[in-house]
Amino acid sequence: MKLDLDRIDVRILQELQQDSSLTNQELADRVGLSPSPCLRRVKALEESGIIDRKVTLLKRSELGLKLTAFVQISMDRHTPDRFSVFEEKVNSFPEVRSCNLVTGQNCDYLVEVVVEDMEKYHDFLLGQLTRIPGVSGVQSSFLLRSVKENTSLPLGHLM
Amino acid sequence: MKLDLDRIDVRILQELQQDSSLTNQELADRVGLSPSPCLRRVKALEESGIIDRKVTLLKRSELGLKLTAFVQISMDRHTPDRFSVFEEKVNSFPEVRSCNLVTGQNCDYLVEVVVEDMEKYHDFLLGQLTRIPGVSGVQSSFLLRSVKENTSLPLGHLM
DNA sequence: GAGTGTTTTGGAATAATATTGCTAAAATAA
DNA sequence: TTATTTTAGCAATATTATTCCAAAACACTC
């Protein structure tokens, strides 16, 4: 949060958030610039750290990943040791897409898990997640329908 | 879920999930192929629909987006009309990163909201979210620390 | 309001990379 | 083994990114 962005920078970020496979020429057209200054801005945004990285998103349904679970996890004690062990474990599980430590009375962590089916989820839950020391409460909700899935961040406040 | 993938395809997908800015040559090196067959496989994966799209991820902290909220939303009645109005609205809010209809006794929707600060969240909640007809219950948890944020899907089951 | 320094742009030349067609090799099946 | 199919690798071509330099826009001073 240091460099100031003008309208063109914000539009570049908006376009790239939606589609990073744009060529520099297409991007330049869309933001109303010629290729060279456009590329220079993109590089500057990468240098500045505003742009984190570029990734490819795959389709779950095409990969046989039919079950997504949202898991609320409570810990028995809130000690640094408990947390660090849990977090290390969670990071090593490819089934875990996201894990967030949150405020709230109900739970400590919100975890999103993607697996093939309910049987695999059962195995993961009992074989992996609940085996982590300190995990005292687990409550699962299952995805019925994805209404919105958006990797974009809001940029309206910059303009 | 139709085409069969061999080990090389899976490795290509794994690499691209992590970093889509790889050049085809680099990718070919990593998976042990020469550039042309590698590119052909990538194109085939795009054609097949397994690859959804490529996006650029930005850093929240660098954009002054200091508050992430996980919101549990309950609806008064479970009618198609209630749902479609809610979902249309939610899709129009840039602050909403994801919205999922889920099973569970506690709530109907899990929504992730990204804003600048608590004041902006307050405005969004009272001015937008709770104004949608049918929204009867709202419970917010706030992000304390992001432990894992991974756009990759697990592919281990394919091998 | 003209002049000066700074920043940003656009165009052209160059370099890197993607893309395609073709041939050979490898894998598969009979 | 042999025929058939699939896949890889090479080389030529096309596309795209990158760099450099002169011109334009902008801000600031006097």
| Under 8 Å between Cβ of B135 and B68 | no
Q: Chain B 98-157, CB below 8 Å of chain A: which residues?
A: 98-104, 106-107, 109-110, 114-116, 120, 139-157
Give A114-129 pLDDT, tens digit per residue.
999 999 999 999 999 9
| Under 8 Å between Cβ of A125 and A140 | yes
Q: Which residues pair with B137 in a beta bridge?
A: B74
User: Which one, of A116, A117, A99, lies nearest residue A108 by Cα?
Assistant: A99
User: Which one, of A20, A24, A23, A114, lies nearest residue B51 by Cα?
Assistant: A20
DSSP-derived letter for residue A103 is -
Identity of the amino acid at A141: S
pLDDT of B115 strictly over 60: yes
pLDDT of A3 strictly over 70: no
CA separation for the pair B16, B22 (Å, rounded): 7
Give A83-141 pLDDT, tens digit per residue.
999 999 999 999 999 999 999 888 999 999 999 999 999 999 999 999 999 999 999 99
pLDDT of B2 strictly over 60: no
Q: Give the other-Cβ count within 10 Å of B102's Cβ.
A: 19
CATH number for the region A61-142 comes to 3.30.70.920
Determine if strand D comes within 7 Å of the CB of A21: no
Q: Does B18 touch chain A (CB under 8 A)?
A: yes
Q: Tell me whether the CATH fold assigned to A7-56 matches the one assigned to A61-142.
A: no
Q: Which nucleotides of D are covered by protein (CB under 7 A)?
A: 7-11, 15-21
Question: What pLDDT is attached to residue A159?
Answer: 81
Best to test chain A binding among B147, B151, B152 (most A CBs inside 10 Å): B147
| Under 8 Å between Cβ of B68 and B60 | yes
Question: What pLDDT is attached to residue A1?
Answer: 59
Give percent above pLDDT 70 in chain A. 98
pLDDT of B3 strictly over 80: no
What is the pLDDT averaged over residues B22-30? 94
Residues of A with Cβ-Cβ distance to B90 under 8 angstroms: 147-148
The domains of chain B are located at: 7-56, 61-142
B51 and A65: CB-CB below 8 Å?
Answer: no
- Kindly report the pTM of this predicted structure: 0.93
Question: What pLDDT is attached to residue B4?
Answer: 78
Identity of the amino acid at A19: D
In the structure, how far is the CA atom of residue A37 from the C1' atom of nucleotide D21, in angstroms?
14
Taking the stretch 77-136 of protein chain B, residues with Cβ within 7 Å of any atom in nucleic acid chain D are none
Nucleotide with smallest C1' distance to residue A38 CA: C9
Q: Smallest Cβ distance to B19: which of A55, A115, A139?
A: A55
Residues of B with Cβ-Cβ distance to A53 under 8 angstroms: 19, 21, 56-57
List, in sequence order, every beta strand (DSSP E) within B1-134. 51-58, 67-75, 96-102, 109-115
Kindly indicate the confidence band of residue B75, based on its pLDDT and cuts at 50, 70 and 90. very high
Give percent above pLDDT 90 in chain A. 94
What is the pLDDT averaged over residues B120-149? 97
Per the model's pLDDT, the better-predicted residue between B147 and B106 turns out to be B147
CATH code matching the domain that covers B7-56, chosen among 3.30.70.980, 3.40.109.10, 1.10.10.10, 1.10.3720.10: 1.10.10.10
Kindly indicate the confidence band of residue B95, based on its pLDDT and cuts at 50, 70 and 90. very high
User: Which one, of B148, B68, B58, lies nearest residue B112 by Cα?
Assistant: B68
User: Which one, of B103, B83, B99, B80, lies nearest residue B91 by Cα?
Assistant: B99
Across chain A, mean pLDDT equals: 95
Identity of the amino acid at B27: L
Contacts of A156 (CB under 8 A, 6+ apart): B94
Q: What is the DSSP string of A74-125?
A: EES---HHHHHHHHHHHHH-TTEEEEEEE-SSS-SEEEEEEESSHHHHHHHH
CA separation for the pair B95, A86 (Å, rounded): 30
Specify which residue's alpha carbon is closest to the C1' of nucleotide D8. Answer: B37
CA A135, A137, A140, A141 torsion: positive or negative?
negative
**Location of structure tokens 């990468």:** A46
Q: Smallest Cβ distance to A58: which of B50, B99, B139?
A: B50
Q: Does A92 touch chain B (CB under 8 A)?
A: no
Angstrom CA distances, A65 to B52, B78, B155, B159, stand at: 14, 27, 9, 14
pLDDT of A2 strictly over 60: no
Q: Does A85 touch chain B (CB under 8 A)?
A: no
pLDDT of B22 strictly over 60: yes
CA distance A118 to chain B (A): 13
